[in-house]
A = this chain, B = another copy of it.
């Protein structure tokens, strides 16, 4: 063997250095020896953080409240939680008052809030897992937004067997994320693509295209402008969606543009957006959903409420769900009562849980099964 090839091999001796070499990687002494999170078969999970100089470390996770971590002699902090229900949970470490992601865990969510994610798997793959079924594709799709004067990004799911050149047109769902996420949230955390794959394979949902636009149309609010900013963002988002996203999708994907083949739904901020846009554009969206939604409907429900008969005729499904322990539960409950009192046909699903993805994945599974079926609109009509 010659010298230069030996030299190239010599990099192996450097491997630990090599793997740690990126200038700004989250590297600390000994980090390669630490496993975090460690998910066991009994569904207990241990979290670890090497932080010898730190006074206090705690775990904040969707599995419940703040849990102090304890330090061993080497400066390794740890805590074990569970057994947890099979699910995907987000968490951060509180390091002397600074919320950080887990430096040993590459499953991190992006968007306006950053956190680490951990999956506690079920015994067999569940409705949001990748199963042995045909898989659709998810496109990270950039498009020019004239209304916002920017090139923007959305994610687009096309179902298994989608072929851009065939003649079939697909029904389309506009699926909106929450304020802490970005347009990757519904696939990266919400697993919308696998949920759709599994439902389609089981013939529980129609093959459909799912468009996941970016709901933050404006930059982050400045100090003190929260509420005002929220309204301005909703308006800007509506323009982007109706004037840019939808025309782009209809030009580049084979979607059916009829209201009866088009749904809008979202979670939290996105739920508010789906109601605000959907309920004021019933000629464009016959299927509307809102998961744990919050937002401003000022003046947006007047037409809807004024003529229940006309509204019910246009609306194939108005599907609202919220966790009973969600801080937004009461306003959703009140909205349900208002719709009932005005005889607007709708469904309200009050489930156990708070304001987390643990509810939104099953909500999506349930909602997608109701879409684009004559049965749903028939039963809605029958209920009148």
Q: Interface of A with B (CB < 8 Å)?
A: 1-5, 7-19, 21-28, 32-33, 49-56, 60-62, 89-92, 95-101, 103, 105-108, 110-115, 130, 132, 135, 137-144, 151, 155, 163-166, 178-180, 182, 187, 193, 221, 223, 226-227, 230-231, 268-269, 272, 294-298, 301, 305, 327-328, 330-331, 334-335, 337-338, 354-356
Closest-CB distance, A334 to chain B (whole angstroms): 4
Q: In the complex where A25-B113, A135-B142, A338-B2 touch, is A7 in contact with B53 (Cβ < 8 A)?
A: no
What residues of chain B lie closer than 8 Å to A54, measured between beta carbons? 54, 95-98
Give A297 to B18 CA distance when docked, in angstroms: 16
Among B21, B23, B140, B334, which residue has its beta carbon within 8 angstroms of that of A7? B334
Q: Which B residue sits closest to A140, measured CB to CB?
A: B138
Partner among B3, B22, B55, B226 whose Cβ is within 8 Å of the Cβ of A15: B226
Q: Are A60 and B9 in contact (CB under 8 A)?
A: no
Chain B residue at minimal CB-CB distance from A100: B100
Distance of A28 Cα from B99 Cα, bound (Å): 7
Distance in angstroms between the alpha carbons of A97 and B32 in the assembled complex: 15
Chain B residues with Cβ below 8 Å from A9 are 296-298
Closest B residue to A103 by beta carbon equals: B99
CA distance A203 to B126 in the complex (A): 47
Once the chains bind, are B165 and A23 in contact (CB under 8 Å)? no
- 16 A-B pairs besides A12-B231, A18-B179, A51-B96 with CB distance below 8 A are A4-B338, A5-B298, A8-B294, A12-B296, A22-B356, A23-B354, A24-B115, A25-B180, A26-B114, A28-B99, A50-B98, A105-B114, A137-B139, A137-B140, A138-B141, A165-B166
Partner of A140, one of B140, B180, B297: B140
Which one of B141, B163, B297, B327 contacts A5 once the chains associate, using CB atoms below 8 Å? B297
Q: Are A95 and B92 touching (Cβ within 8 A)?
A: no
A90 interface neighbour in B22, B32, B108, B327, Cβ under 8 Å: B22
> Are B113 and A26 closer than 8 Å at their CB atoms?
yes
* A137–B141 touching, CB < 8 Å: yes
User: A304 → chain B, closest Cβ, in Å?
Assistant: 10
- Given contact pairs A11-B295, A114-B103, A24 touches B151 in the complex (Cβ within 8 A): no
Is there an interface contact between B14 and A327, defined as CB atoms closer than 8 Å?
A: yes
Instruction: Output the nearest chain B residue to A11 by Cβ-Cβ distance.
Output: B294
Q: Known: A11-B331, A19-B179, A298-B9. Contact between A110 and B106, CB under 8 A? A: yes
11 A-B pairs within 8 Å (CB atoms) are namely A5-B301, A5-B335, A8-B294, A26-B114, A53-B55, A54-B54, A108-B108, A132-B144, A137-B141, A138-B140, A138-B141
Contact A97 to B51, CB < 8 A, known contacts A13-B227, A33-B223, A140-B140: yes
Question: Taking each of A24, A113, A356, which has the highest tally of chain B beta carbons within 10 Å of its own beta carbon?
Answer: A24
